Amino acid sequence: MHIVKEQISRTLAHTPTSLDSFRTKISSLNYSEILRRRQEERLIQDEALSPPVMELRKQLEPELMNLIRQQRLHYLCEGTKFRKVSSRRRQDKLWFCRLSPNHKVLHYGDLDDNTDKPPIEMLALKIAVADIKYVLTGKDCPHMKEKSAGKQNKDLMDQAFSICYDVDSCLNFIAPSFNDFCLWLDGLNALLDRGMSSERTRTDLDLLLNTELKLRLLDLENIPIPEQPPPIPPRPQNYDYCYQFTSAEA
């Protein structure tokens, strides 16, 4: 039963487009193939959990987190199109928000349907990043407090966030998708020098770490990595390694 379950789950992971492609893929994942893949994954996992690899993983993590941070800020500079938050059901009006290239100002303004990414000069309103006090998400946002607990409203809450820059002033957002929500939340936390802890950050970090580790360990394929570093040799009796070269020897 475990093998059959794994056959189905591995086949569905490839998102077959038809029943015929599903049958073709699942027939290729026979018992011996499943066992072979399990053994390969177990070896990779054991290698990844060894102390030297874990130490390398810790050294790479800050550099890769900085790479993710730069990507999030670049995404905010590109800007995003949002639907206007309204008490009515109609949400046909659009607005646009983007970060300035120097990462100091958020520019936003209304948007026409035929405009994709307006330049900063077309966005009349702005908020200085230095004036941002905090960022709210979900049901804590001002525009989500009166929403009922329906499924549609729950989806909106999962993608809602607010930038509070004054005592009673907030700029309210509903992201077009949960992915956009994660990218904007990470970017705002990066601007405020706070930790990026969204699901997308964890996924991106794992992907980058695993890829970088595979590249670093490519030359060590099929070579066992010791659990402990080799012993340090004893000190030499003297450090007189200098050789005096004279012109007469030439």
Domain membership flag for residue 123? yes
Give the C-alpha separation, 101 to 141, whole Å.
27
For residues 91 and 183, state if they share a domain. Answer: yes
For residues 29 and 90, state if they share a domain. Answer: no
What pLDDT is attached to residue 249?
56
Q: Name the average pLDDT for the chain.
A: 82
This prediction has a pTM of 0.67
**Of 151, 167, 195, which one is at a domain's C-terminal end?**
195
CATH no. for residue 153?
2.30.29.30
For residues 84 and 24, state if they share a domain. Answer: no
Strands 170-174 and 160-164: antiparallel
Task: Summarize pLDDT for 99-141 with one digit per residue, the tens.
Answer: 999 999 999 988 876 677 888 888 889 999 999 998 988 888 8
For residues 17 and 115, state if they share a domain. Answer: no
Task: Summarize pLDDT for 182-225 with one digit per residue, the tens.
Answer: 999 999 999 999 889 888 898 899 889 888 888 887 776 666 66
CA dihedral 63, 68, 70, 74 (to 10 degrees): 160
For residues 185 and 94, state if they share a domain. Answer: yes
User: Which residue stretches of the chain are H helix?
Assistant: 2-13, 19-28, 31-48, 51-78, 151-158, 178-191, 199-216
Number of structural domains in the chain: 2
How many residues does the structure list for the chain? 250
For residues 121 and 173, state if they share a domain. Answer: yes
For residues 33 and 132, state if they share a domain. Answer: no
For residues 88 and 174, state if they share a domain. Answer: yes
Give the C-alpha separation, 75 to 24, whole Å.
40
Q: Cβ distance 159 to 177 under 8 Å?
A: yes
Which domain covers residue 171, as residue numbers? 78-195
